[in-house]
């Protein structure tokens, strides 16, 4: 799956996979994109900032390219825009360029970040689907969903939630204990195990942006395989 589209800031929305048919990509419906500048932001521009900057909120639709599908995804969030002027010697005219950046906070229904493994049980599938939407609004909550997915995956692989730990025989095993047990029972999957450990860590560490890029690495590196 295309990596560069899963970013916090986007210049366009083309290339996201369709959440319905999953076979085709979504395209921006340009006429349905609305950009509005709140009054207080517009005042700020007039009072202080030089140049032609604009900042505001946007909403719009992405449509599935497959005619048999036609799914619509609503997107919304913040945007920034800057206008550049360049003198064209040939036409002897001033040409304007607009550099626009979108920061989506909502995508509904959310495009799937990965192809969900067919063998994954229903509850884990449900949690993965919830994580798709949270990626945009709350990467920390997305991380927590993925931790749940990892716990469920370990259940599915037959790794117990209770076992021997130190002096105790039936202690509650945390995610890391369970991953260690998996490592011993199924050797040779160090890369995958490290990815799982990373999910265990990511809920409590890192900035939002770093957390999101780390999450995506894990989701693609392991859960997609
Ligand atoms: Zn579709």
| CA of 123 relative to ligand 1 center, distance in Å | 24
Q: What is the pLDDT confidence band of residue 1, given thresholds at 50, 70 and 90?
A: very low
Which has more confidence, 25 or 164?
Answer: 25
| 216 alpha carbon – ligand 1 mean position (Å) | 22
Percent of the chain whose pLDDT exceeds 70:
78
pLDDT digits (tens, 9 = 90+) for 63-116: 999 999 999 999 999 999 888 778 888 888 888 888 899 999 999 999 988 777
20 Cα–ligand 1 center, Å: 5
- Ligand 1 centroid from CA 139, angstroms: 25
Q: Which residue has the higher pLDDT, 192 or 62?
A: 62
Beta strand 168-172 with 26-28: parallel, antiparallel or unpaired?
Answer: unpaired
Instruction: Measure 70 CA to ligand 1 centroid, in angstroms.
Output: 6
Ligand 1 centroid from CA 204, angstroms: 35
Ligand 1 geometric centre to CA of 198 (Å)? 32
**How many angstroms is it from 224 CA to the middle of ligand 1?**
20
pLDDT in tens, 191-222: 666 666 776 666 545 445 555 555 656 555 54
What percentage of the chain carries pLDDT values higher than 90?
26
- From the list 93, 71, 84, 78, the residue with the least C-alpha distance to 26 is 71
The domain spans of the chain are 6-111, 113-225
**pLDDT tens, residue by residue, 134-166:** 888 887 788 788 888 888 988 988 888 988 888
Q: Is the pLDDT of residue 123 over 80?
A: yes
Q: Residue 67 in 3-state DSSP? A: coil
- Rounded (5°) CA angle 67-71-72: 125
């Amino acid at each position: 799956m295309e990596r560069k589209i899963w970013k916090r800031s986007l210049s366009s929305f083309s290339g996201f996979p369709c959440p319905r048919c999953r076979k085709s990509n979504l395209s921006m419906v340009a006429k349905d994109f609305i950009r509005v500048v709140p009054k207080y932001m517009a005042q700020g521009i007039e009072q202080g900032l030089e140049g032609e900057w604009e900042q505001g909120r946007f909403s719009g639709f992405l449509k599935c390219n497959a005619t048999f599908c036609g799914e619509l995804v609503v997107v919304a969030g913040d945007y920034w825009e800057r206008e550049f002027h360049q003198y064209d010697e040939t036409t002897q005219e001033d040409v304007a360029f607009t550099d626009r950046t979108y920061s989506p906070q909502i995508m509904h229904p959310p495009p799937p970040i990965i192809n969900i493994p067919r063998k994954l049980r229903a509850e884990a599938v449900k949690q993965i689907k919830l994580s798709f939407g949270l990626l945009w609004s709350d990467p920390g909550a997305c991380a927590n969903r993925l931790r749940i997915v990892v716990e469920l995956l370990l259940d599915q692989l037959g790794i117990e939630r209770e076992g021997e730990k130190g002096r105790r025989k039936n202690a509650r095993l945390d995610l890391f204990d369970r991953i260690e047990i998996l490592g011993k029972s199924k050797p040779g999957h160090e890369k995958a195990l490290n990815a799982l450990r990373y999910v265990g860590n990511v809920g409590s560490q890192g900035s939002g942006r770093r957390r999101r890029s780390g999450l995506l690495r894990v989701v693609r590196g392991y859960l997609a395989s």
